[in-house]
Structure 1
Amino acid sequence: MRSVTVVNWEPRSAGGKGSGVAREAELAALEAVERRVLWLSTAIIDHANRVRPNPSGLKVGGHQASSASMTSIMTALWFHALTSEDRVSVKPHASPVLHAINYLLGELDESYLTTLRAFGGLQSYPSRSKDPDPVDYSTGSVGIGATAPLWGAIARRYAEGHFGGAGTGRQYSLLGDAELDEGAIWEAIQDPMVPGLGEVVWVVDLNRQSLDRVVPGIAAERLRGMFTAAGWQVINLKYGQLLQELFARPGGEALRARIDAMGNPEYQRLLRCSADELRERLPGTGSTAGPIADLIAPLDDGSLLAAVRNLGGHDIPALMDAYDAVDDTRPTVIFAYTVKGCGLPTEGHPQNHSSLLTGDQMKVLADRLGTDLDRPWAAFGEGSPEAALCAAAAERLRRPGHASRRPPEVPADLARPAPTGTGNTQQALGRVLLDLTRRAPEAAARIVTVSPDVSSSTNLGGWLNKVGVWSPTERPNWFADDAETILHWRERPTGQHVELGIAETNLVGLLGELGTTWSRWGQPLLPIGVVYDPFVNRALEPWSFGIYAGGQSILVGTPSGVTLAPEGGAHQSITTPSLGIEQPGCVTYEPAFAIDTEWCLLAALGNLGRPDGSSAYLRLSTRPVDQAAAAVPTDPAARERRRRHAVAGAYRLRQHENPVVTIAAMGALVPEALAAADRLAALGHGADVVCVTSPDLLFRALQARRGLSEDPTWILDQVFPAERTTPLVTVLDGHPHTLSFLGTIQNTPVTTLGVTRFGQSGAIEDVYRYHGIDSDGIVAVALDHIE
């Protein structure tokens, strides 16, 4: 793989984007806009911290230095390279630069410039769902926003290939060099789906500083080698035009070698030097000191100070050339060397990360940049080259509107007879997807499943054989004629299953972007991701961030709990049931029977791809359960009542004539609850059994009853009526606090059973006994309440 270095500008041919006088005029206007963007981004933060009243005295914050290091990169991108079909993920701390650019483009009203980090105003970091101006990707969780354009590229290709309307366009990611420390970055880069994404362009702001210090060794060569090995085009943008011209003079090679060999802290210290100190320090020692001293001796102080700051990430012509040199046949990374805080009094200071300029410093900055501290938001003069450049960019970047398409109706019930015999909820997942292809083909056509190399072990095999595996191009299935191969791996652009590598963060990253196509291009998808439930914790942060960014999807965790018995503690989830309750923008379900799984999955699918929609988490099990125990009514009205209860959060599975205790069970533990109820009846104690399908929805109903939300509350009165109030025992294959709130519905005594320790390998009976969630454990605590 080749490594391209773009370091200085040469005039383009007449067929390029500019040449000769026109090129010089464009550069002059771009540099004027760059200065204004620097001012606006700095002033936005200054107003939030120094000008706006702050009665509480609580720190507001902002990142003037981090924004300054991105100003040139973003000015050249927006006002030269971007098209209306491109999308950009902006590093979190550069959000004021994005708002400044949107203001100059007419996409943000001036009134918002004073509202950074104020309630209802500009968010601390770019947010698709909360900021008032255009934001392509929500960022803020380090590494996740950086990788989002990879998954956005796949989502766009998928939507365009299946339904059209998603168009083309590059997917840019502007990230800080410290983000390259995140493991999610490298998990994404090495995924088998990524090397073919030629529309992806990453620009790394290589300012070589972290929160507290100058990073001693950024290892840029190693980083470039890692991207090259992954199949990426690498563009190294290290030096600007002034330094390039010095390197071409006698002694220039010695100066280049000196700077190349210089450690980051020493270089950063030079930025804090006066011209006299710089003349003393820059030559260094040894045989090259003399030639370097002779080289810089004729330079006036201003030229010398400008040259040492003239890195490629602040050189507009070099940036323009870098963007124009992108190879669209493979992903590209541009390493743009920058100075943190470039152009500000704090530039290059080791602790400038969160530092704020004083009022006096802001006045000096305004004078230097040609603005007015008393009129900080003044626009460019009408008819000026800068105003014309902004107007032309705004016109070029104006995106056509997309018709809002509601997804096809998802049936609430597939109207099949309730299953009999034994089965598990994981098996039901695959059966429901196959049934949808026959009973609701339009809705099924919008489903796209994603898994990290576990499709067969999570019962997606039949679905995968039916719909095929998605690939940008058709690939031969070399095992098609192998009679012993059960899983038919047909890869083609029409496939509806996307198989990634084993990294769960990649799966949920793609899941989130597939879940945004309804809002990006008006093409709603119904994405379902399947992962082993113990690893939901590993995937939770990026999935949660995808929901925050507006992505709607279904995450299926299976198999789950200590019900895995022989698998041992390494694969046994404990906390995931309560995580589902705590996740905003998501409804969590844990069905006990196949019919419950069908109803809950259909309800979750019906909530996707719409402005008022939400994501869902289904926790499924491989434990075989007698399906007849569901006792599904055969009368159509009674069956529909059961369905409504199941998708609302719970239903009464068994009612005793004279109950003295109620057992509320969830998921795989319902058989133990029924067995305990039978044993209590034999002892002369009536027990009701409630099957909880969604503790999340029950908790929301309880909050609504207290006036804390507007969710419906009827399910509480139907399932936990006051007239049948008894002491309560709750049990689930997960942490017991998940259901502990049920006692507050009618203010009843409650004992909660569940799993609070790491699991053990063994037979399911032994494992349940070990955790006290078998029928013996349920009967014992029920008797404590009764007696």
Structure 2
Amino acid sequence: MADVRWRGEYPMNPKADPATSPALPSGPDDLDVLREIEQRVLWLSTAMIDHANRVRPNPTGLKVGGHQASSASIVSIMTSLWFGTLTADDRVSVKPHASPVLHAINHLLGELDESYLTTLREFGGLQSYPSRTKDPDPADYSTGSVGIGATAPIWGALARRYVEAHFGGAGAGRQYSLLGDAELDEGACWEAILDPQVAELGEVVWIVDFNRQSLDRVVPNMGGTRLQGMFAAAGWQVLTVKYGRLLEDLFARRGGEVLRARIDGMSNPEYQRLLRCGPEELRARLIGTGTGTDGHTPGSHISGTDGHTSGTDGRTPGTGGRTSGTGGHTSGTGGHTSGTGGDAETIAGLLADVDDATLHAAIRNLGGHDLSALKQAYEAIDDTRPTVIFAYTVKGYGLATEGHPQNHSSLLTADQLRALAVQVGADPERPWAPLAEGGRAARHCADTASRLRRTPRQVQEAGDVPADFGRTPHGTATTQAALGRTLFDLTRQAPGVGARVVTVSPDVSSSTNLGGWLNKVGVFATSERRNWFDDDAETILHWRERPTGQHIELGIAETNLVGLLGELGATWSRWGQPLLPIGVLYDPFVERALEPWSFGIYAGGQSILVGTPSGVSLGPEGGAHQSIKTPSIGIEQPGCTGYEPAFAIDLEWCLLAALARLGRPDGRSAYLRLSTRPVDQSLANVPADPAARELRRRQAVAGAYAIRRHERPAVTIAAMGAVMTEALAAADRLGGLGIGADVICLTSPGLLFEAMRGRGGHGDAPTWILDSVFPSQRATPIVTVVDGHPHTLAFLAGIHQVPGTHLGVTTFGQSGSLDDVYRYHGLDTDSIVAAGLDLVD
């Protein structure tokens, strides 16, 4: 190997001289064919971004954007994965900034028409980031919110296993995440990685595009070894593809181990600086005698790595690259390092036999751009546990901007784009020209498309969800307890529907009143596990884990809860089997989970999120667990209907209505805000007449109903949730003072707000609920009351433009008795009466 001379254009130029190119495998995995496809993917992804920014008219001058460098970084990884490894059962989450690469690949596979290639970031065109619901290009997962798309395949794997265990037909494919190394800064990643169930998901594979650059800089101390150790400690298989075949062959020469140690010892910025050097300066820096002058060669080729992991373990000789285990050493983080004494002489002697073109190519030859090395890594995946592959790459690989610290959003100039076209064999005048018809690359694309083509799934019906169980709760109860009772009744009255319910919680099953439900349906596990407390007479919560269980318990991480909830809510569209997922967590922590929950809805995951207990009605538990802003979430969250019922019967009706909207193409998620405050159920005054009862149910599901009407109202009290007790008491006291009060029980302010917009011609929401509950002839000054921020209900005064006073919580909560806490926040009966008197004075 010592006599080999490598061409400088390797591995990016498919026209490399066969006499000087390394030996390549033959057959369908022919690397020459893959390189030609790789080149076309690089060109298409780069040209799409260029067209969006420089060709398409932009009369407003607003920045269009796009990420040519981030896309180029992962082209080799995605080419090798799609055109050599994926199966039709596999699913892939693509890092947000690589959406043009996904579009380019799907175009080559015949899944995306050429006409869309000019619509990147255009209204109705290709989305900025992959989207399951908005993109004309098929995507397995929506990405765009850093860390959330990366973890989605973990929850997709768990959802697939659940469907397979309960209904079958979900297959057994791998779940891949392609993510940038910066995404590992996100806590959401580590919360998911550390959940105990994840270590059993052998179908999960993460491939980290390890280019060690952020938006603004080369990150100086992003150590691969530290990250590898964290994954390994969580039970993951860790593979590293650091150097490509060119560098490995240099390392195999006499003195090569000294060169390897020299590169391994560099900090990220020092190594990356080598990519911007001309031949003379590059040699000087490697030897350790560089002067620090620029020496940059315009349009230089590609790549760079930090060199943090030494690569002393796991090497597989002759694979065209290197797949290592979890070990290796960590370099220093400092600036310029230098060879000393005999080491410098050894490196100089080694480089003396290497021509400029070979050295230029070799210093960029990282494993994440070596198709053979990547193939070897994919073949080494252990499907008995999750796997992470650290693929060292160069941001901007193959572009004139490669390796520059500020290339994140940079665009090639017109001259640079033309030079790229020459490099990859494309025609800048016909940027979307297809691969040569009948050529090996075109045939391989067609074969790959056939291999990856999926059979369309017919969506099964979840069954008819009952609208009303026909019973009327009595005594004192809480809406939180009514949740478990409603689920029990569902399994009895509609067992087919009940079988599709799956509940999820982050270690709060018993404290959110799911204990009885859990005892009935069991806990989901991929295999049956012995319950060592099943013979303990004092055990109340029976933890029976088996594949038929319908409850999934996660660790205390709300982000994981809603991530899984979104994927369970998407099974109808992935495998044709609708689930009715209900996630339960403490209401104050809805805000912690809000972004991934919202993103799951955006991605098409239909589910019900239950926040309980809520508000300051917790009383003695104090401010740390008292939610204030969450009622607004029920109004503001797109794709979701928010409910806060006051009575058990309202909870039943609203929950059943929410379940009926899940698992279907026109489905919708829901958020239920529940309370632990006991409420006298007779206050609901549920009509005995069947027709009147049905009207009450329809109104409750639509957002509100009149719980009390006065013959001559002077004021209206509109209350929601647990404070309905105080609202009714205030109406009684006002009546004793000769002031008649209508009392409206609100269940969903969001639906009422949509009705108001619909009445004004903004949207198509039905408006009948406004005329039914707030008729103009009964318009009076209004007092609104909510155990949350008062602005939640303030819009109600605008229905008829009446004066209003809005009571609620605007400060952090306090510990104390319910009377003390309500008095402190102005939710008590006295405060409501006083507000009513002020309005009618």
TM-score, normalising length from structure 1? 0.97
Deviations along 1:137-167, one digit per CA (max 9) or x if unpaired, are 0000000000000000000000111011111
User: Does the alignment pair 1:44 with 2:11?
Assistant: no
* Displacement after TM superposition at 1:340 (Å): 0.4
Aligned match for 1:118, one of 109, 116, 122 = 122
> What is the deviation of 1:295?
1.1
Other-structure match for 1:404: 459
* TM superposition shift of 1:707: 0.8
Question: Residue 204 of structure 1 corresponds to which residue in structure 2?
Answer: 208
How many angstroms apart in 1 are the aligned matches of 2:736 and 2:770?
A: 29
- Measured in 2, the distance between the counterparts of 1:130 and 1:273 equals 43
In 2, the alpha carbon distance for the partners of 1:557 and 1:333 equals 34
Mean CA deviation greater in 403-412 or 333-342: 403-412
1:236 aligned partner: 240
The change in CA–CA distance for 1:85 and 1:365 in structure 2 (over 3 A counts) is same
Q: Could you list the per-position Cα deviations for residues 507-560 of structure 1 after superposition, in whole angstroms to 9, with x for gaps in the alignment?
A: 000000000000011000000000000000001100000000000000000000
Give distance in 2, aligned partners of 1:411 and 1:118.
43
1:136 is the counterpart of 2:190: no
Alignment-derived partner of residue 26 in structure 1: 30
Q: What whole-Å deviation, never above 9, does each CA across 1:35-94 have from its counterpart, x for those lacking one? A: 110000000000000111000000000000000000000000000000000000000000
Query: 1:312 is matched with which residue: 348, 367, 386?
Result: 367
Alignment of 1:666-677 (within 5 A): 666-677=720-731
Partner of 1:16: none
Determine helix, strand or coil for the equivalent of 2:83.
helix
Amino acid at match of 1:338: T
* Partner amino acid, structure 2, of 1:339: V
Asked if the contact 2:704/2:747 (under 8 Å) is kept, the reply is yes
Quick one: distance in 1 between partners of 2:399 and 2:260?
25
1:175 aligns with 2:230: no
For 1:107-506, what aligned pairs fall within 5 Å after superposition?
Answer: 107-284=111-288, 285-287=339-341, 288-416=343-471, 418-506=472-560
Q: Distance in 2 between the 1:226 and 1:220 partners?
A: 10
Query: Runs ≥4 in structure 1, deviation > 2 angstroms?
Result: none
DSSP-derived class of the 2:196 partner? coil
Distance 1:580 1:204 in 2: 36
Deviation at 1:280, TM superposition (A): 1.1
Quote the offset at 1:403 in angstroms.
Answer: 1.1
Identical counterparts, % of pairs: 73
Q: Give the aligned partner of residue 715 of structure 1.
A: 769
1:5 paired residue number: none
TM-align CA RMSD: 1.0
2:610 alignment partner, SS class: strand
Q: Give the CA deviation at 1:289.
A: 1.2
Offset from partner CA, 1:381-412 (integer Å, 9 cap, x none) = 11101001100110000001111212111000
Distance 2:510 2:248 in 1: 57
1:14 aligns with none
Contact map agreement 2:25 2:31 (CA 8 A) in 1: no
Over residues 100-147 of structure 1, what are the superposed CA-to-partner deviations in whole Å (9 max), with x where a residue is unaligned? 000000000101100110000000000000111110000000000000
Deviation digits for residues 203-259 of structure 1 (CA, Å, limit 9, x no counterpart) = 000000001000001111011011111110000110000000000001100110011
Q: Equivalents in 2 of 1:21, 1:70: separation in Å?
A: 23
Return the letter of the residue paired with 1:233: Q
CA distance, structure 2, for counterparts of residue 302 and residue 135 of structure 1 = 39
Query: Superposed, which structure 2 residues align to 1:492-641 within 5 Å?
Result: 492-641=546-695
Tell me what 1:6 maps to.
none
**1:752: Cα distance to partner?**
0.7
Q: Secondary structure at the match of 2:26?
A: helix
Aligned to 2:79: 75
Aligned amino acid, residue 610 of structure 2: V
Native 8 Å contact 2:24 2:30 kept in 1: no
SS of the equivalent of 2:714 reads strand
Partner-residue secondary structure (3-state), 1:203: strand
**Whole-Å Cα distance in 2 between the matches of residues 716 and 72 of structure 1?**
58
Partners of 2:27 and 2:242 in 1: CA distance: 22
Q: Give the match for residue 757 of structure 2.
A: 703
Maintained 8 Å contact 2:132/2:141: yes
Shift of 1:28: 0.5
Distance in 2 (CA, whole Å) between partners of 1:290 and 1:62 is 45
Counterpart of 1:104?
108
Aligned residue type for 2:421: A
CA–CA separation in structure 2 for the residues paired with 1:20 and 1:55 = 50
Whichever residue aligns with residue 98 of structure 1, its letter is: L
Farther-moved stretch of structure 1 (122-131 vs 398-407): 398-407
Contact 2:586–2:611 at 8 Å: present in 1 too? yes
The one-letter amino acid paired with 1:595 is I
Q: Deviations over 1:174-216 (max 9, x none)?
A: 0000011111111100101100000000000000000100000
Q: 2:822 is matched with which residue?
A: 768
3-state secondary structure, aligned to 1:81: coil
Question: Structure 2: how far apart are the matches of 1:20 and 1:204?
Answer: 26
1:25 and 1:297 mapped to 2: Cα distance?
A: 35
CA distance in 1, matches of 2:594, 2:217: 31
Amino acid at match of 2:460: R
Of 751, 754, 758, the residue aligned with 2:805 is 751
Q: Runs of 5+ in structure 1 lacking a partner?
A: 1-8, 10-18
State the Cα distance separating 1:299 from its structure 2 match.
1.7
Matches of 2:418 and 2:685, distance apart in 1 = 77
Question: What is the Cα deviation at residue 24 of structure 1?
Answer: 8.8
Amino acid in the other structure paired with 2:196: P
Where structure 2 has 5 or more consecutive residues not aligned to the other structure, the ranges are: 1-10, 12-22, 289-338
Number of equivalent positions: 769
Q: 1:86 is matched with which residue?
A: 90
CA distance in 1, matches of 2:127, 2:522: 41
Deviates more, 1:300-309 or 1:169-178: 300-309
Aligned residue number for residue 60 of structure 1: 64
Q: Cα distance, 1:479 vs. partner?
A: 0.2
Q: Which amino acid aligns with 1:404?
A: V
Q: Secondary structure at the match of 1:195?
A: helix
CA shift at 1:298, angstroms?
2.0
Deviation of the 1:680 alpha carbon: 0.3
Structure 2 distance, partners of 1:409, 1:271, is: 63
CA deviations 1:437-472 (Å, max 9, x no partner) are 110100000000000000000010111000000000
TM-aligned CA deviation for residue 26 of structure 1 = 1.2
Amino acid at match of 2:382: D
Change (3 A) 1:318 1:20: closer
